[in-house]
Amino acid sequence: MIAIIKYNAGNVKSVENAVRRLGFDCIVTDDKEKIKAAKSVIFPGVGEASSAMEYLKRYELDDLIKSLKQPVLGICLGQQLMCNYSEEGNTNCMAIFDSIVKKFPPLDLVPHMGWNNLIKTKGELFTGVNADDNVYFVHSYYAEIIADTSAVCDYILPFAAAMQKNNFYATQFHPEKSASVGEIILKNFLNL
Amino acid sequence: MVKKRIIPCLDIKDGRTVKGVNFIGIRDAGDPIALAKKYVAEGADELVFLDITATVEKRKTLIGLVEKISEEINIPFTVGGGINSIEDVSLIIKAGADKVSINSAAVKRPQLISEIAREFGNQSVVVAIDTKYETNDWFVYVNGGKVPTQLKSVEWAKKAEELGAGELLLTSMNNDGTKNGFAIDITNLVSISVNIPVIASGGAGSKEHFKNVFLQTKASGGLAASIFHFGEIPIPELKKYLKNQNIPIR
């Protein structure tokens, strides 16, 4: 069973549908025991960092996520909340990844919205993905590149499109909205 | 590099896809789910569903349709038509839509843009602008292009951005249904006046029209309906053509 963490950031439905389309059973839940017992955990998110973080803290989901031993995938805001700190709402995050989340300088359209290609992919999430493949992004904040970056994207500046550390995986893009390439990435994660 | 988006638009009436020409005279173009899946397979970058019935009782049909679309397709999609309140938005987003497009309601009560942005994020708010050239400027029309306003399109575009819109969908009523090409001038003016993506709509009739709008304006995407529904321009062929013109395309 795959657990999708339910909290006050949207887009859960699309992730749930994507997981089911790939033939995996899943539950959308904020039940700590169910999350702990899941084979793997997806931490999605579209929304605002400080209010999402506040909610996670209130329900002690932040400590829970950090303590998980099975594969965990943060998506979009999920990735950002797994970093140390976000400029959005001046928010201290979960500090799983040693990265800072910053707002894009307005040198091009913000949000970065649409399909963009990945560069320098590495790790098992990207098996079967070509460097030129495009995935779908929608975000105004980006995570700085760190040693644990597993894919880079260049928009205004190079940023961390994906990260991996131990059992924690994260993507800034939306695999659930990235057509067949996204399905490969999501399937790679679900099969871990 | 971020790619220019090719966006088929499905006008929905009573659960079916239709396409109006100059906003009147409606032809049936088929089952929306089947069409949507076909477009995804062909490489459409995003989809827009516009509910042009939007009566209270038909809204329920729409929510059911949004749920089905979300189950069946794996690219982003926007839903619009008759959205008046944050409650409408909430139902549509929870049914699985990525964005909502608001038009008349935003003109009537611009704060709605901010309310949606605050609740669901800027990226979820597309402000649709129906624009028509009259005497010496492009004016905003509401109620499906039936009612003129005093608002100038560029001013309204800037205001929408300021209030929190994540994207603009700009439809030239002069061009819509003509197949004579996008309105380059107003698309250019709007797209250089804001720092959010602008989707050009209305008038696409050939592959060159997409090339022109991407080369001559800052539009992030091109939207069309009938030319895709009736197979006049297959999406793979259009994308191949644009790639050959060195336009960044997925």
Q: Are A82 and A166 in contact (CB under 8 A)?
A: no
Q: Which of residues 3-42 of A touch B (CB under 8 A)?
A: 10-11, 13-14, 17-18, 20-21
Q: Are B246 and B50 in contact (CB under 8 A)?
A: no
Q: A10 Cβ partners below 8 Å, 6+ apart? A: A45, A46, A47, B93, B94, B120, B121, B124
Q: Rounded to a whole number, what is the distance in Å from the CA of B94 to chain A's nearest CA?
A: 7
The whole-angstrom separation of Cα B166 and Cα B183 is 22
B225, part of any domain = yes
The whole-angstrom separation of Cα A57 and Cα B158 is 37
The whole-angstrom separation of Cα B93 and Cα A56 is 21
B26 pLDDT above the threshold of 60? no
Residue B92 — φ and ψ, nearest 5°? Answer: -70, -40
How many domains are there within chain A? 1
Q: Which H helix or E strand runs over A143?
A: strand A141-143
The whole-angstrom separation of Cα A160 and Cα B54 is 42
**A154 near B CB under 8 A:** yes
B221, part of any domain = yes
Confidence of residue B58 (pLDDT cuts 50, 70, 90): low
Q: Which H helix or E strand runs over B174?
A: none
Containing domain of residue B176, as a range?
Answer: 5-244
A189: nearest Cα among A73, A29, A45: A73
Residue in chain B lying closest to A158 (CA): B1
Q: Are B59 and B81 in contact (CB under 8 A)?
A: no
Residue B242 — φ and ψ, nearest 5°? Answer: -65, -35
Indicate the pTM of the whole model.
0.94
Q: Residue B41: which CATH number?
A: 3.20.20.70
Q: What is the pLDDT of residues B160-189, one digit of tens each?
A: 999 999 999 999 999 998 999 999 999 999
B249, part of any domain = no
Q: What is the reported pLDDT for A178?
A: 97
Q: What is the reported pLDDT for B160?
A: 98
The whole-angstrom separation of Cα B156 and Cα B170 is 11
Report residue B105 as tokens.
């309601």
B24 pLDDT above the threshold of 90? no
Contacts of A115 in chain B (CB under 8 A): 2-3, 5, 45, 250
Q: Residue A159: which CATH number?
A: 3.40.50.880
Would you call A181 exposed, middle or buried from its count of C-beta atoms within 10 A (0-12, 13-18, 19+)? buried
Residue from A115, A135, A154, A187 whose CB has the most chain B CBs within 10 Å, to mutate: A115
B15, part of any domain = yes
DSSP track, B176-202: TTT-S---HHHHHHHHHH-SS-EEEES
Residue from A11, A12, A113, A155 whose CB has the most chain B CBs within 10 Å, to mutate: A113
Residue in chain B lying closest to A138 (CA): B123
- β-strand pairing of B47-51 with B24-30: unpaired
Containing domain of residue A168, as a range?
Answer: 2-190
The whole-angstrom separation of Cα B59 and Cα B54 is 6
B28 pLDDT above the threshold of 70? no
- Residues of B that are catalytic: 11, 130
Q: Do B121 and A47 touch (CB under 8 A)?
A: yes
Confidence of residue B150 (pLDDT cuts 50, 70, 90): very high
B59, part of any domain = yes
Q: What is the pLDDT along chain A (192 residues), one digit of tens a residue?
A: 999 998 876 668 899 999 999 999 999 999 999 999 999 999 998 778 998 999 999 999 999 999 999 999 999 999 999 999 999 999 999 999 999 999 999 999 999 999 999 998 999 999 999 878 999 999 999 999 999 999 999 999 999 999 999 999 999 999 999 999 999 999 999 999
Least confident of B4-8, B14-18, B25-29, B52-56: B25-29
Q: Do B40 and A13 touch (CB under 8 A)?
A: no
B9, part of any domain = yes
Q: Do A111 and B123 touch (CB under 8 A)?
A: yes
